[in-house]
Amino acid sequence: MELNFNTDWVKELQSVDFNDPSSWPVSFKGILTFALCIVILIAGYYFIIKDQGVELEQAKVEEQKLKDTFLEKKALAINLEAYKLQMAVAEETFGVLLKQLPNQTEVPDLLIDITQAGLARGLKFDRFEPQNVVNQDFYAEMPVSIIVTGSYHQIGEFVSDIAALPRIVSVDTFRLSRGNPDSGELRMEAVTKTYHYLEE
């Protein structure tokens, strides 16, 4: 039975006139229409839908980036007044600190102030040697290598006097050792740093 159907269908297919579609059998038209729909769907997927899927994924990633950027800018906008206030406070603090940095012409006076502070406490200076100036962003620092001898209290008061100077001076590194064992003096080797702002 199946063989007769296939034979009949083959005969029917052989009798089809491809130049006259109106004479084609209904079953052949249906199969051809179905095959054509499948080809159109596959071609549509590969040439239209597939590319649009990639574009959709890229658009989703871009959308997320834009959302994140928006939220960051929104947070900045909400806190804008607070940031402005912080900026004003920072500028004021910076101005106060900048005033504590001497200009280049005031550095010699500052070095004299340091030596006078030591001499006023009864210290003996064995070395007071300014080193090479090191330039930073908006200021320069001048290391000064010093060696002084005196009692423990004299050295402590000298360091305290340096900290109390109106200009910024720091004691960067220091080392205490015994000086004269008989007198009980101490020897302090230190590097103090004075700073001055760089004028444009």
Q: pLDDT (tens digit, 9 = 90+) per residue, 122-167? A: 888 888 888 888 887 777 788 888 899 988 888 889 888 888 887 7
Give domain status of residue 87, yes or no. Answer: no
Give domain status of residue 124, yes or no. Answer: yes
**Are 70 and 109 members of one domain?**
no
**Are 145 and 193 members of one domain?**
yes
What does pTM read for this prediction?
0.47
Give domain status of residue 89, yes or no. Answer: no
Give domain status of residue 186, yes or no. Answer: yes
Q: Which residues contact 43 (CB under 8 A, 6 or more apart)?
A: none
Place of tokens 């095959």: 35
Of the pLDDT bands very low, low, confident and very high (cuts 50, 70, 90), residue 102 is: low
Q: Give the count of domains, the chain.
A: 2
Q: Which residues contact 162 (CB under 8 A, 6 or more apart)?
A: 114, 117, 169, 171, 192
Give domain status of residue 91, yes or no. Answer: no
Farthest CA pair distance, the chain: 133
**Are 12 and 57 members of one domain?**
yes
Question: In CATH, what number is assigned to the domain containing residue 152?
Answer: 3.30.70.60
Give domain status of residue 42, yes or no. Answer: yes
**Are 109 and 193 members of one domain?**
yes
Query: What is the model's pLDDT at position 109?
Result: 77
E-only strand ranges, the chain:
124-130, 134-135, 139-150, 169-178, 186-197
Q: How far is CA 69 from CA 58, 59, 139, in A?
A: 17, 15, 37
Place of tokens 């590194």: 173
Domain that holds residue 30: 1-78
**Are 69 and 134 members of one domain?**
no
Query: What is the model's pLDDT at position 1?
Result: 40
Give domain status of residue 92, yes or no. Answer: no
- The residue-averaged pLDDT of 1-6 equals 47
